[in-house]
Amino acid sequence: MKKIFSNYKLEGHTLKNRFLMAPMTRSRATQPGDVPNVLMAEYYKQRSTAGIIITEATQVSLQGKGYAKTPGIYTQEQIEGWKLTTKAVHEAGSKIFLQLWHVGRVSSSKVNGLQPIAPSAKIAKDTSVYIFDGAPNGDATFVPVEEPREMNQNDIKNVINEFVQGAKNAIEAGFDGVEVHGANGYLIDQFLRSNSNQRTDEYGGNKENRIKLLIEITKAIIKAIGKEKTGVRLSPFISFKDMNDPEILETIMLAVEQLNDLDIAYIHLCEADWDDAPQIPLEFRIELRKKFKNTIIATGNKTPRNGETLLENELVDLIGFGRKFISNPDYPIRVKENLVLSDISDNHTLFGGGTERGYTDYSNAK
């Protein structure tokens, strides 16, 4: 497998390989204040064997928070906390982008004390978020999401400003760029889909209107920090959180054409990582490559060999891996040298916890 271990030029950055560590929520931020900390910096440093890291989803405001102990990027204390991570990752020889996040309707007042907001006052069926309420084993407690309030024009302007300020704060914190989270049923994805977006104004009603928020946020971030520092994550084939929309593929492709015109650094395809998940059709990948000229990232339930095939066929440029990096901080090295891979030791430690257990206590193979 030569391609996946080769260098790659990403908008002025030379990546040492084409392994990308995918965004993974781990809920380790210091409380109160959702502040990134020394433990998180060590976690990312250990995994800097990846050519590039995309951080866990990071809320751009308290309103944008949907799960307990997730980090933010809207206070000075959070900016200072993230500086620990960017310094550690850069010293270890990798690059790192911050994923900007607003959950929209996927939230509860039990998480942030606020009623969720969304494109429409439509609850996400069969969807839960988690809090930590003192369970003896430290596990998260899942609570159902609450009915959201439909966003007005001021809400939309505020969200755009929050994403822009988050991007500026990320650059101040030392990140190489930002990724706009437009996937997985969160706020921007809610605007993209006809079943969750039932507005009749300029932000709803047809595909052109439903992509408007994504494009406006992206344009504003480009103006603030530069197109070469801006990426977008999309999930055309993922429909959990009550997001099944028959028009989503056409809507995504319409957005891709405009994102291509904006000349952003990359599009990051979030692909499902469970065993019976829908596979992305070859035809979609071919069309995406035709419509988008810059870097394409694919993240999902892939082996390095699967990734190598996609790279060889020039359908994507970087391959994202998630859970393998949790228990194998040196995952690219283990793959290259055909070393034994470690399994996740305890699923209870995936979300939450204030110690190194299940977080930074996985060792390298050598």
Contacts of 233 (CB under 8 A, 6+ apart): 23, 99, 179, 180, 181, 182, 183, 267, 268, 269, 270
- Alpha-carbon distance of 226 to 298, in angstroms, equals 23
Say which of 186, 203, 266, 331 is annotated catalytic.
186
Give the residue from 57, 68, 52, 64 showing the smallest Cα distance to 15: 52
CB atoms within 10 A of CB 205: 14
Phi and psi angles of residue 211, each rounded to the nearest 5 degrees, phi first: -90, -5
| Structure-token match 């439509």, residue found | 122
Q: Identify whether 43 is a catalytic site residue.
A: no
Pairing of strands 13-15, 8-10: antiparallel
* Both structure tokens of 144: 């159902």
- Alpha-carbon distance of 268 to 179, in angstroms, equals 9
Cis omega before residue 32 (within 30°)? yes
CB atoms within 10 A of CB 246: 9
Give the residue from 322, 46, 53 showing the smallest Cα distance to 184: 322
Would you say 362 and 327 are in contact if contact means Cβ atoms under 8 Å apart?
Answer: yes
- DSSP line for 66-87: -STT--BSSSHHHHHHHHHHHH
Kindly list the catalytic residues. 186
